[in-house]
Amino acid sequence: DGQPYRVLLSVPVPYGVMNQQLQQQLFHQEMKLPTTFGPTMMVERVTASDVSGRTLFAVETSGNVNGALYYWGTPRLEPDGNLIIIPDLQMADETKIALDGIKIGYWQLVNNELKPRLEHASAIDLSQRIANMKTALSGQHKAGGLVMDLLLARQEAGQILFTKDVVIADIVLEGS
């Protein structure tokens, strides 16, 4: 009666889903750059892919900055496991060098506009999927002559696993 248990939920997030979210939030977003030689840049396409457990973002732009800009980051789970974030998102060195070829320090102007938008758009909210799974697990379950009442008390982030096509968030649920 009231025995504790732990359940490990694995929540897959295909890169295709992440790319769709990035595109919905960033497509045709215009960014004002504080320069005299071309004040705007527009996002045309954003894609994310796995490279050895890190995520590579390719941001194709038009306007004053016309081409692909690259960012690197490592997805992490917030402590409660409801959100995948990329806290270490950084512009790739090759992109910084290319932008500084236009004007020294130009990469910082572009980065100041683009990085916060990319950080926000790349955050994946898992709360609804986890809530659906918790609802399915909670309550009374019968198997043969056995009846179990599962009560979920708490959840926490597990680890994140990577494959070529999917980020997998492991969430630990505890209850009695």
* 1 has a pLDDT exceeding 60: no
136 and 130 Cβ atoms separated by less than 8 Å? no
Give the model confidence (pLDDT) of 44-80 as tens digits.
999 999 998 899 999 999 988 889 999 999 999 998 8
First CA to last CA distance, the chain = 8
Residue 36 binned pLDDT confidence (cut-offs 50, 70, 90)? low
How far, in Å, CA of 94 to CA of 148, rounded?
57
Tokens standing for residue 25: 């939030």
The residue that leads in pLDDT, 108 or 145, is 108
What is the per-residue pLDDT across 133-164, written as a single tens digit (0 to 9) for each?
Answer: 877 777 777 878 877 777 777 788 888 888 88
What are the helix and strand counts (H, E) for the chain?
Answer: 4, 13
